[in-house]
Amino acid sequence: MSFQGPAIQTRPAGSAVRARQHLFNDRTLASYRDSLAAGVERVSDRMARTDRPFSGITPQQLAPEIVDIDLDRPLEDPAAALDELEDVYLRDAVYFHHPRYLAHLNCPVVIPALLGEAVLTAVNSSLDTWDQSAGGTLIERRLIDWTAGRIGFGVDADGVFTSGGSQSNLQALLLAREEALTAARTVEERTALLPRLRVLASEAGHFSVQKSAKLLGLSPDAVITVPTGADRRMDTAVLARELERCRAEGLPVLAVVATAGTTDFGTIDPLPAIADLCEQAGVWLHVDAAYGCGLLVSPTRRHLLDGIERADSVTVDYHKSFFQPVSSSALVVSDSAVLRHATYHADYLNPARMVEQRIPNQVDKSIQTTRRFDALKLWLTLRIMGADAVGSLFDEVVDRAAAAFDLLSTDPRFEVVTRSQLSTVVFRYRPAGEPDGEHLDRANLHAREALAASGEAVVAGTKVDGRHYLKFTLLNPETTLDDIAHVLELLAGHAAGLLAEPAAA
């Protein structure tokens, strides 16, 4: 007796036929071209009309527009969806290309990288294995080698693209942790050693170091923060003392994290002196150059990174100072062998035999599996405009920050913290005779918020020695000193307005 199952439907039903029209393939190329052209047109139109970096909208004003959209009733038509997008996103987005966007480490992006983004999302390679990417894998490898060469690493170097500086730092510390734990021969020894491991980083280092320590199962007091001097660079005398203290107390240091471009101050820790100390102590040196990596291609300032070539691992964020769209970052290590700590062979994906067959599977080096081909953006950037051009853009913003520092230093209404080696400026409104304290803090907080609400400019804020400061992060060569002077006038006006109000009791 034969089995009579349900009738098999051989033809797609009407809705399935319509759905298939949205699949990108050789039969839908006209729709692909039209849709993308329409998207490019909208963005161009919006850019042409954007006269300020932000509309000043509040979350309370915008949220209802998004909440009210019925996601179960598609519009079908790209033009209608783009109309809607205008209201829920494009109109009120924060525009990093605008010369008065001066807030966080977001750069305007270069057009060759946008071209790369369009290509990579359409082809949609996944960089975990050769059999999902082919040339993509080789291009990524070539760019890692190129970056390693710029760092000054030798032939044993290797690395992998990551989603960002936080992930690069996490992976660096994972590799360093595993190296530190090789001293443990048994599970019991490993368990006993793990809570004793320490990481040394400067107080101006990035918070992803603390987060990584937590994710890596280190003890809550594992990260020892080394103070900085008045120049906001790691105090190497204290670092030396801390290394010695850890040794004396039997607390193995799994890594020293030096920062080449602190997020707030744009300062670079003294890399040669730190490398000397790490070498003497036999400790892993990680250099977080998420921000400062742009100096790798600077025609005039590469020397500021001298000593980076002595690191065991380096974080580079192309999406900060190489003018690349998010995401684009890499972790580069001086000795490829350490990447084995991120290797796992899955039968279905990257079985061990593939290593013998010399099949290049990047997943063997990555903590991600499916992974975007972000390297393509950098590839097209280098192939179209070249490294020197990228470096000269970064040089320009570093010059501009120096000029902004000078401007602020001679303005009696402001106090400026320290001269950046990169492109930030940390300052606050404090006219002569104005006492320090909460009222002044409120004035600076208010100035930042009022400015953002007006949409005229966006600046960042931070705390220095417990007090509220304002911060410019300059990454746009189009930002002129006049823009900066104008923003300072606006900030001074807002802050003075609040200071004129009576201090809260």
Ligand X SMILES: Cc1ncc(COP(=O)(O)O)c(C=O)c1O
Contacts of 423 (CB under 8 A, 6+ apart): 266, 394, 397, 398, 400, 401, 473, 474, 475
How near is the Cβ of 166 to ligand X at its closest, in Å? Answer: 3
Decide if residue 233 touches ligand X (CB under 6 A): no
Print the binding letters for residues 373-412 with ligand X: x by CB under 6 A, - otherwise: ----------------------------------------
How near is the Cβ of 419 to ligand X at its closest, in Å? Answer: 18
Residue 310 to residue 308: CA distance in whole angstroms = 5
Beta strands in 421-491 (DSSP E): 424-429, 458-464, 467-473
Q: What is the maximal distance between C-alpha atoms in the chain?
A: 100
Residue 397 to residue 417: CA distance in whole angstroms = 18
How near is the Cβ of 201 to ligand X at its closest, in Å? Answer: 10
Q: Is 175 within 8 Å of 257 (Cβ atoms)?
A: no
129, 137, 263, 362: which one contacts ligand X (CB under 6 A)? 263
How near is the Cβ of 204 to ligand X at its closest, in Å? Answer: 9
Closer by beta carbon to ligand X, 103 or else 488: 103
Give kind and range of the element (H or E) at residue 144.
Answer: helix 135-151
How near is the Cβ of 379 to ligand X at its closest, in Å? Answer: 19
Residue 207 to residue 204: CA distance in whole angstroms = 9
How near is the Cβ of 209 to ligand X at its closest, in Å? Answer: 8
Stretch that binds ligand X, among 8-16, 288-296, 374-382, 383-391 (CB under 6 A): 288-296
Decide if residue 288 touches ligand X (CB under 6 A): yes
137, 324, 329, 444: which one contacts ligand X (CB under 6 A)? 329
How near is the Cβ of 327 to ligand X at its closest, in Å? Answer: 7
Residue 301 to residue 304: CA distance in whole angstroms = 6
Closer by beta carbon to ligand X, 323 or else 429: 323
Q: Is 197 within 8 Å of 176 (Cβ atoms)?
A: no
Decide if residue 112 touches ligand X (CB under 6 A): no
Stretch that binds ligand X, among 37-45, 58-66, 124-132, 286-294 (CB under 6 A): 286-294
105, 218, 255, 332: which one contacts ligand X (CB under 6 A)? 105
259, 361, 366, 421: which one contacts ligand X (CB under 6 A)? 259
How near is the Cβ of 329 to ligand X at its closest, in Å? Answer: 6
How near is the Cβ of 253 to ligand X at its closest, in Å? Answer: 20
Per-residue tokens: 234: 């790691």
Stretch that binds ligand X, among 127-135, 256-264, 301-309, 370-378 (CB under 6 A): 256-264
Residue 285 to residue 312: CA distance in whole angstroms = 5
101, 130, 161, 291: which one contacts ligand X (CB under 6 A)? 291
Dihedrals φ, ψ of 161, to 5°? -75, 150
110, 281, 285, 290: which one contacts ligand X (CB under 6 A)? 290
Residue nearest to ligand X (CB): 165
Closer by beta carbon to ligand X, 103 or else 495: 103
Buried/exposed code over 257-279 (b: 16+ C-beta within 10 A; e: otherwise): bbbbbbbbbbbbbbbebbbebbe
Contacts of ligand X in 123-182 (CB under 6 A): 164-166, 169
317, 395, 415, 483: which one contacts ligand X (CB under 6 A)? 317
CA-to-CA dists, residue 464 to 23, 204, 418, 427, 442, angstroms: 52, 10, 11, 9, 14
Helices 438-454 and 481-500: crossing angle in degrees, nearest 10, is 130
Residue 403 to residue 423: CA distance in whole angstroms = 10
How near is the Cβ of 321 to ligand X at its closest, in Å? Answer: 10
Contacts of ligand X in 178-217 (CB under 6 A): 206, 208
Query: How many Cβ atoms from other residues are within 10 Å of residue 56's Cβ?
Result: 16
**Residues near ligand X, by CB under 6 A:** 105, 164-166, 169, 206, 208, 259, 261, 263, 288, 290-291, 317, 329
